[in-house]
A and B are shown apart, each in its own frame.
Chain A
Amino acid sequence: ETGVTQTPRHLVMGMTNKKSLKCEQHLGHNAMYWYKQSAKKPLELMFVYNFKEQTENNSVPSRFSPECPNSSHLFLHLHTLQPEDSALYLCASSQGGPNTEAFFGQGTRLTVV
């Protein structure tokens, strides 16, 4: 248990559906992240939030929409996804700064059908 909780753990959605992934951290961290992990590809950093402000958007398609209402919660809203978006989506948090470790949630396994 890392202190970062992601829900749901598994999600199957159709290409026309709208769903949201949720991440919650109880570590008092200031930075939160979304990563995508596809089969046979390195982890891809998608979004970074520092003190609730988005500081990085790594050329992610607009069908992925992040939301950070406070420093403890992070959402990833999904709509009109494609089958190639099927992946493990990982949330992480950290204190921020150059020499801090990241704490990861268990991930949401997303399948787009």
Chain B
Amino acid sequence: SQQGEEDPQALSIQEGENATMNCSYKTSINNLQWYRQNSGRGLVHLILIRSNEREKHSGRLRVTLDTSKKSSSLLITASRAADTASYFCATGGNMLTFGGGTRLMVKP
């Protein structure tokens, strides 16, 4: 069953702008992960945030987690055309369940 739901489904921005994607989930979690997928290719792990963490950074990525609201957000700052991809949140430990993803397009 689908655990995570990303919002929005699609996002189009100009290069240099920030992109924010949200994820909501249904059950309690140990951690939440974010992945990126370029068109028709495999997924690449971006960041893992544990249930006792509220915020985590990795380069231009910032992830927040609010377990009381069962939600997470992924912020990409100063976006680049190369950030164009689909972004997925996933929960479930070693049996990851993914949401439907957000398709991000960054226009040069």
Q: Which residues of A contact B (CB under 8 A)?
A: 2, 4, 6, 31, 33, 41-43, 45, 48, 50, 56, 88, 90, 92, 94, 96-107, 109
Contact = CB atoms under 8 A, between A and B. Distances in A.
Interface of B: 2, 30-31, 33, 35, 40-45, 48, 50, 88, 90, 93-101
Contact of B42 (A4, A41, A99): A4
B33 A56 contact: no
A99 B94 CA distance: 7
Given A45-B96, A48-B95, A98 B31 contact: yes
B55 to A, nearest CB: 17
5 contacts: A6-B42, A33-B96, A48-B95, A50-B94, A92-B96
Contact of B40 (A42, A104, A105, A109): A109
Contact of B93 (A43, A99, A105): A99
A106 B95 contact: no
Contacts of B35: 102, 104
Nearest to B2: A42
A48 to B, nearest CB: 6
B88 A99 contact: no
B33 A101 contact: yes
B94 A42 contact: no
B98 A107 contact: no
A94 B42 contact: no
A99 B43 contact: no
B44 A104 contact: yes
